[in-house]
Chain A
Amino acid sequence: DQQVKQNSPSLSVQEGRISILNCDYTNSMFDYFLWYKKYPAEGPTFLISISSIKDKNEDGRFTVFLNKSAKHLSLHIVPSQPGDSAVYFCAARMSGNTPLVFGKGTRLSVIA
């Protein structure tokens, strides 16, 4: 039973356009949501996060939106750059330093 779902295994976007990566979750106890970026042969790198008490968090070109009633979050990257090409993982955790639960990832390709 997958608690964090990323239903799009891949996404291709033209440079300069917006990339939207989606994530759904089933556990209403999740309190904190994160996006990680992973390049080949490297470990995941933290990108941006959002607490369950917020609906939006922005950091430069990256914005995460949270819709608690729909149990859905999304990551927007604008404008997309070729260096953004990577696998993006959505993750969630409950309160306290509980383990992160990851989705399967979405491979983003930004085409120049």
Chain B
Amino acid sequence: GAGVSQTPSNKVTEKGKYVELRCDPISGHTALYWYRQSLGQGPEFLIYFQGTGAADDSGLPNDRFFAVRPEGSVSTLKIQRTERGDSAVYLCASSWDTSTYAEAFFGQGTRLTVV
């Protein structure tokens, strides 16, 4: 597709369950970012991939959160033992290079609700 695609668009899960959120970046974009947006807040950085490797995972809140990008394209954000506080919109973005001025294109997000 032409833009960043995230699936599912909505996910409701029970507390304690495991979830996976998928991001398909724009073809050819080498950088991929995950952000989390809670109600009334701006997007908060979670993790950044350059190619297949995580260049910066300093935003992951704890070890229940993990992300992979095995072939340098699609990425999956994995959350173990979900908690109600994990409820948020999870946004993925990609950009075509590593320069300061590379524009980041965002997907529509996955709204995660933990009940």
Spell out A's residues near B (CB within 8 Å): 4, 6, 31-32, 36, 41-46, 49, 51, 89, 91, 93-105
A4 neighbours in B (Cβ, 8 Å): 42
Can you identify 20 A-B contacts, CB atoms within 8 angstroms?
Answer: A6-B42, A31-B100, A32-B100, A41-B108, A43-B107, A44-B43, A44-B106, A46-B103, A49-B101, A51-B101, A89-B43, A96-B98, A97-B31, A97-B48, A97-B98, A98-B100, A100-B104, A102-B44, A104-B41, A105-B42
- CB within 8 Å of A: which of B94-115? 95, 97-109
- What is the count of residue pairs linking A and B with beta-carbon distances less than 8 angstroms? 64
Interface of B is mostly: loop
Contact flag A96-B109 (CB < 8 Å), given A43-B4, A44-B43, A89-B42? no
A45 neighbours in B (Cβ, 8 Å): 106
**B: contact size bracket:** 20 to 34
B33 neighbours in A (Cβ, 8 Å): 99-100
- Rounded to whole Å, the gap between the CB of B73 and the closest CB of chain A is 17
